[in-house]
């Protein structure tokens, strides 16, 4: 089973996270931010990942530390759960429609951290969640997962749809990338011999 448990405590957040890559999409999420809970729940569902997460953060300040630190922990969990990466597909992509919104994501589990994020979210907030934190979340995720992620908004006007489409599309891309290729079960998908 490809699983990981991450516990991270700082002066700003206390996070406990469990991830199973080959799950059913079941989740229990309590981040202290309702909108972020919604995004992580649908991320787990569309990725087919089992996710259990609790976070106690300094939400009296804002959701910045909570969002970034959850991204850090989720990325670390992906890296740990992937182990030596033998047999994985490595690459994944999705162009996901959500009403007027169309989001492209592409991921490479390369061992190299890079985020290209081209989102034009029209409002500063969705509920009490600062929309600029979407990029902060994915930047944290790619750093600790050591992956390359491209996010491109092809169309969209509704802030909620754009963010939700991003999380769903990324989940589907990751679902593909972490998948196992039975033809190459004992091989790394790299000519360098290392990922």
- The enclosing H or E element of 41 equals helix 34-47
Segment 5-29, tens digit of pLDDT: 999 999 999 999 999 999 999 999 9
- Tell me how many degrees the CA angle 152-18-187 measures, rounded to the nearest 5: 70
Mean predicted confidence (pLDDT) in 58-83: 97
- The enclosing H or E element of 121 equals none
Question: Which band of pLDDT confidence, cut at 50, 70 and 90, is reported for residue 76?
Answer: very high
Segment 143-167, tens digit of pLDDT: 999 999 999 999 999 999 999 999 9
C-beta of residue 27 within 8 angstroms of C-beta of residue 104: no
Which pLDDT score, from 0 to 100, does residue 22 have? 98
Q: Return the CATH number of the domain spanning residue range 3-184.
A: 3.30.230.40
Model confidence pTM above 0.85: yes
The DSSP string of 156-177 is ---HHHHHHHHHHHHHHHHHHH
């Amino acid at each position: 089973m490809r699983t990981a448990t991450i516990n991270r405590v700082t002066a700003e957040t206390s996070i406990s996270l469990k991830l199973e890559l080959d799950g059913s999409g079941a989740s229990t999420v309590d981040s202290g931010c309702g909108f972020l809970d919604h995004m992580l729940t649908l991320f787990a569902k569309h990725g087919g990942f089992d996710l259990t997460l609790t976070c106690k953060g300094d939400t009296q300040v804002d959701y910045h530390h909570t969002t970034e630190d959850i991204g850090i922990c989720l990325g670390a969990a992906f890296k740990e759960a992937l182990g030596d990466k033998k047999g994985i597909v490595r690459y994944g992509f999705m162009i996901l429609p959500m009403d007027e919104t169309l989001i492209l994501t592409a991921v490479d589990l390369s061992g190299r951290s890079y985020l290209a994020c081209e989102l034009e979210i029209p409002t500063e907030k969705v509920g009490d969640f600062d929309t600029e934190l979407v990029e902060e979340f994915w930047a944290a995720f790619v750093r600790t997962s050591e992956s390359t992620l491209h996010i491109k908004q092809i169309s969209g006007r509704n802030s909620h749809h754009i963010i939700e489409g991003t999380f769903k599309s990324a989940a589907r891309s990751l679902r593909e990338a972490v998948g196992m290729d039975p033809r190459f079960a004992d091989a790394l998908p790299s000519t360098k011999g290392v990922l």
